[in-house]
Structure 1
Amino acid sequence: MSSQIVSLVVNGETREFIARPGTTLLSALRDSLGLTAAKRGCAQGSCGTCTVLVDDRPLTACLVAVETVSGCSVRTLEGVATGGDLDEVQSAFVDNFATQCGFCTAGMIMVAEALLDRNPDPSREEVAEAISGNVCRCTGYQPIMIAILDAARRRREGGAEPGPRPVTEPAGEAVPR
């Protein structure tokens, strides 16, 4: 098969480019469109570092042939902040120290965005389930879960301001900050 023109709505903007058959969405985003937030990790869909939203659903971009999503809407981390201002999820990740090396962060944020878009008040268990396909080797999952729950609160309250941190462990012990 020969190369074909692929059209995507990426972060709200229609983008067209030529792709060889079998080119992954991840390669197209990074190499053809210059959007590098989604990372190349395991290349097997197991680590979640390449997660983007396709028609508002989180997908591992390393496993998706770009021609199969032609015409779809794709949202990457580059499309989350508006006007240079971080959104609630991004702000909560910073304020709750939910990043270290940052390699998993884009994928974690995209999964969190999808979760909060469909469920503005998730339980701790729902957050854990949502991020279960994403691997973090540095930060650990506790600060990430706290950040997502904090982002949900911020969205419900209509702003990105940090608030009190009354998050507790199931056993009743306060979570270290």
Structure 2
Amino acid sequence: MAAESQKIAEHVLASSFFQRAERIGVYIHCAQLREVDTRPLLRALLSEGSQARCYVPLVEDKDSNMRLLHLESLDGLRKVLPFNILEPTTSYSDGAPREDVLHMAAPLQVLLMPGLAFDAAGRRCGRAGGYYDKLLARLLARAAACGCPPPLLVALAFEAQMLDSVPVEPHDRNVDVIITAHSVLRCSPRAHLELADEQKV
């Protein structure tokens, strides 16, 4: 899994959508949930030479409410039970509240997402919590209100998570791109357009 995670991170870092974006949301992986490791991506986004601002999830409650808050340093993370997932503190070190993607003047451009299973059509099976479903609805509404395109939805997946077909509900939203160790799958017309200049992996 570590080797797959490393290759996936290399594909993401080399992608045009990652290099062009100025506002990127990225989940913080949980080893217990067997998610693709995003630490290399976080380190890249938080490095001194990065032009992008990084936003990471904060679970608010058990009613599937989740926020994406700006992270400027790994020091701004804390462990949260029961899985010891790292989440951002609600404020910066000076006490000011962290920037929330839903309150920014310009909306999020890319969102890197985990999941339980995926298929080549971009269908995603989550963990039944509904957190990303609710967050995505808000992100799409925010982008529409700003007259901007919605964020490019990019899923990171191990090969074992790729299935022939994933059952979905009417409210489920497909992802645009799925990145595995061996491929970058373009799952939507937008993905084909945005990655047109890239060689297929």
- Structure showing the higher helix proportion among its residues: 1
TM-score (norm 1): 0.30
TM-score relative to the length of structure 2: 0.28
Q: From the CA coordinates, give the structure whose radius of gyration is larger.
A: 1
Q: Greater share of strand residues, 1 or 2? A: 2
